Amino acid sequence: MAAPLVKTKTPGIYKRGSRYVFSYRVSGKQRWESCRTLEEARRAKSARLTDIGRGEFEERSRVTFHEYATEWVDRYQGRGRRGFRDSTRDDYRRQLDQYAFAHFPPRTKLTEITPSAVARFAGWLCDGNAQAKRVHAQKAAQAARGGKPAPPPLSDDAAVDLSDATVRNIMAPIRACLGTAVREGLIRSNPARDIDLPHRPAVEDGNEDDRRALTREQLAVFLGIVHPRHRAFFQLLAATGLRVSEAIALQWQHLELDGSSPHVKVRRGIVRGKVGPLKTRHSRRDVPIAHELVRVLRKHHDESEWRGDDDPVFATTTGTIIAPNNLSRRVLKPAAEEAGASWAGFHTFRHTCASLLFASGRNAVQVQRWLGHHSAAFTLATYVHLLDGDVGEPLDLAAVLSANKVQTSPTPNDAIEPELVGAESAV
């Protein structure tokens, strides 16, 4: 039996149990709403009556946030021309399940997700102890489903700290989901649009392994001791700088090994075992390869059981695409340890390629296009530590002008050297 309505000091607003309720009429039908406090009920009733008077009233959706977000993530197609990749959809689904659905109760209505509620969610993400409790609760639920013993209790100071980048990634599906709800008329504004996200100072631990490159000696030792079956794979990584997701996605049709300009055509990538489009349009590129690597790849082709145009260049013994995690654990790490580079990973070969390109005199734009970065500025910011910081020898201007046959005294236009005309045209 519902609790009785009790009059308040505000006409038309009643208290029922712990909630404050009010009614209004739309198109001859009576509607009821409830709020947590009397002040919220006053503001809400005033807003409804104002909207009805202006003809701007939209009935509040009764769908819950869990229901809407679960349905939304399955049909969302993105907002840009590039569309929405399935791998990103999987990331969004996982982030909603692990974080948003763990924080917002199942009965929370979509219209109850306010800016303050989103701000509290962001604060919860930044609370290390709260995240430790979330992880513990999820492990306990997983153990219960599998009939396994529950994990040991948490200590009072247990903490799981999420980085600022992780918090921003978790907020991305929330913002996109609520933005779609606005466009579909379910809510009036996106409560996650202007939420301040954390920018905490990073702790410098001196670990720069993520951007280290192999020395020439380490690379030579690694390629000499790595398992022969996979040697061509690592030679290609070091010589082309391909991302591992791009390298394992290569098919024989993507290798141009004939002619005077052999190259690798980078056209797709594989992430979590799924073939998908490249990360950006800049990732689509043709990377030149030396004739020695051509010889290695031809030999690899002749020795492979899988030689069709649609077969993977680097396949397992059953002809399927190799699994990077298994290759790293069984092949990469043991060889890297023997080469004195136990810190090395797949991306190390990409950094090594960049290091060798800069050492050979390539400029930032060339390296950017070689690696498939979106801008030369990003390339420089990523690999500035590879560049020589010395200003070098003094610039001998007289020698430069002499080499270009430039006279130091004014010369009539009709007496300008042909070489200089050509130089001006080129500029």
Helix (H, G, I), strand (E, B) or coil at 287: strand
Residue 295, CA distances (Å) to 224, 310, 412 in order: 17, 21, 56
Confidence band for 413, pLDDT divided at 50, 70 and 90: very low
Cβ distance 142 to 136 under 8 Å? no
Instruction: Give me the pLDDT at residue 208, please.
Output: 54
pLDDT in tens, 47-101: 888 888 877 666 666 789 999 999 999 999 887 666 677 788 899 999 999 999 9
410-414's contacts with Cβ under 8 Å and 24+ in sequence apart are none
pLDDT in tens, 223-251: 999 999 999 999 999 999 999 999 999 99
- Bridge partner residues of 270 (DSSP): 275
Distance between CA atoms of residues 163 and 179, nearest Å:
24
Name which residue leads in pLDDT, 210 or 110.
110
pLDDT in tens, 304-335: 999 999 999 999 989 999 999 999 999 999 99
Confidence band for 427, pLDDT divided at 50, 70 and 90: very low
Residue 71, CA distances (Å) to 66, 75, 76 in order: 9, 7, 9
Give Cβ neighbours of residue 27 (< 8 Å, ≥ 6 apart). Answer: none
DSSP state of 328: I
Compute the residue count for the chain. Answer: 427
Exposure of 46 by Cβ count < 10 A (0-12 exposed, 13-18 middle, 19+ buried)? exposed
Cβ distance 357 to 369 under 8 Å? no
Give Dmax (Cα) for the chain.
106
**Whether the predicted pLDDT of 407 surpasses 70:** no
